[in-house]
Amino acid sequence: MMAATNGFASSDLEKSEELKAAANVAFQAHRFSRAVDLYTKAIELNADNAVLYANRAFAHTRLEEYGSAIADATKSIECNPKYVKGYYRRGAAYLAMGKMKEALKDFRQVCKIVPKDPDAMKKLKECEKAVAKAKFEEAIALDSQSVATTLDYRTIEVEDSYQGARIEDKITLEFVKKMMDDFKNQKSLHKRYAYQILLQTHELLTVTPTLVDITIPPNGHFTVCGDIHGQFYDLLNIFQLNGLPSEENPYLFNGDFVDRGSFSVECIFTLFAFKCLYPTGLYLSRGNHESKSMNKIYGFDGEVKTKFNDTMSEMFTEVFCCLPLANVINGKIFVVHGGLFSSDGVKLSDIRAINRFREPPDEGLMSEILWSDPHDGIGRIPSKRGVGVAFGSDVTKRFLQDNNLDLVVRSHEVKDEGYEETHDGKLITVFSAPNYCDQMGNMGAFIRFEAPDLKPKFTTFSAVPHPAIRPMQYANNFFSMLA
């Protein structure tokens, strides 16, 4: 009779180890979805192995599936309460979600298990500093005044030595082109003009509805782009392929303009300048990364403070809280960054009524708009991200029927070809950051709709070279805990 260990045949354990080794190879090759699949098969053969759950948690973290990472890390800890990496992985996933207090508990537990480990102590101290800093910032925020209402950019002097783009009276196309060319050559925009762009954008967005109705005239066209995540040189390539934004060549950028990529400042000033120049030539939706908690973790906050100052970072926070949450094109195409909702019956009027002028909450319609994802089945299941919900094809179809719509367009997820059509053609995901984070190898894409039929036409493109500045260059020190 074949020997068994903990109820598993020795042949199963050997096969599980083989699958684990293959999963490790896939992970090292940045094939994280493949790694998850292989770890899952290994777990099916050896369900009490803490290492397998911790490894799968790490792969989920790289896929930004933090809810699944927390669940796996918790299972790893249940299998072996003294397995350090289980706490590491769960703490890292909490950290990635901005849940500093929960992360701190796990890193403290790591130090209890391995009290003399210098790396563990370093991570604990970084996490403690982050929690203390967050408390301090919350306290002073209660007494601080709005930058938008107190700043006068006209009092800021422009030095004679400044050779970059200048706004003489108002933002012009010549200024925007010069600014983009300066950015391309890694030159900075003067803070006077940076504040001017931000204040004008703030003024425009403040009076913009939470749900924006966009009209494409007969024989007109409209382009929808997904996440660009600070990949400025790929943004320039989109404009090279499809033309600059204008009233005749309008765009919608569907959230996640910043973070991860280390040219987020250049991306956001380019988009905001075009928004000021052509208010109906460029539309913007808020993404989950247009938020203070994400910006502090994934690099934008650090980038703004490095290239400008703390006040500029506060100004961006205020502007991001004014961004619309959704758009409807010709009354038929619903465009939103994340996805749909945890319950049926949500009407467009409910979305219009959301109080969006705030940081995103942990739950509710606003949170789900920014964080939800589709899944391949029917009904609703917990989100792999730990925020929002995963919704099936039946949910999409009911939402469209309830609101007399034809199509949902969303972004929020990397796709190998830059886009994906699912839910029987009723839902499209578009992602416009090719070779995401310089490692995913994916294509980027954008969608062009032409009136009156509004059939989607896809353009895919590869990443273009950029200066040797790595993604996450400006991320917080404690981001190393995610590695």
Measured between alpha carbons, how far apart are the two ends of the chain, in Å? Answer: 44
**Which token pair is 54?**
């911790």
Do residues 468 and 113 make contact, with C-beta atoms less than 8 angstroms apart? no
**Active site positions, annotated:** 289
DSSP state of 311: H
**Alpha-carbon gap, residue 436 to 251, rounded angstroms:** 21
Q: Indicate the SS3 state at residue 172.
A: coil
Do residues 262 and 438 make contact, with C-beta atoms less than 8 angstroms apart? no
Question: Taking the C-alpha atoms of 343, 347, 349 and 355 in order, what is their torsion angle to the nearest 10 degrees?
Answer: 20
Contact partners, residue 211, CB within 8 Å, separation at least 6? 324, 325, 326, 327, 328, 348, 351, 352
Residue 441: phi and psi, rounded to 5, are: 70, 10
**Alpha-carbon gap, residue 20 to 9, rounded angstroms:** 17
**Alpha-carbon gap, residue 314 to 308, rounded angstroms:** 11
Identify any residues that bridge with 201 across adjacent strands, giving them in sequence order: none
Contact partners, residue 210, CB within 8 Å, separation at least 6? 324, 325, 326, 351, 352, 353, 354, 356
Contact partners, residue 29, CB within 8 Å, separation at least 6? none
Q: How far does CA 297 lie from the centroid of its chain?
A: 11
For the four alpha carbons of 73, 74, 80 and 83, in that order, the dihedral sign comes to positive
Q: Is 418 left (phi over 0), alpha (psi -120 to 50) or beta?
A: left
Sheet holding 407-410: strands in order across?
A: 211-214, 326-329, 333-336, 407-410, 427-430, 419-422
Helix, strand and coil percent figures for the chain, each rounded to 5: 45, 15, 40
Question: Taking the C-alpha atoms of 284, 285, 289 and 292 in order, what is their torsion angle to the nearest 10 degrees?
Answer: 80
Question: Taking the C-alpha atoms of 362, 363, 368 and 373 in order, what is their torsion angle to the nearest 10 degrees?
Answer: 70
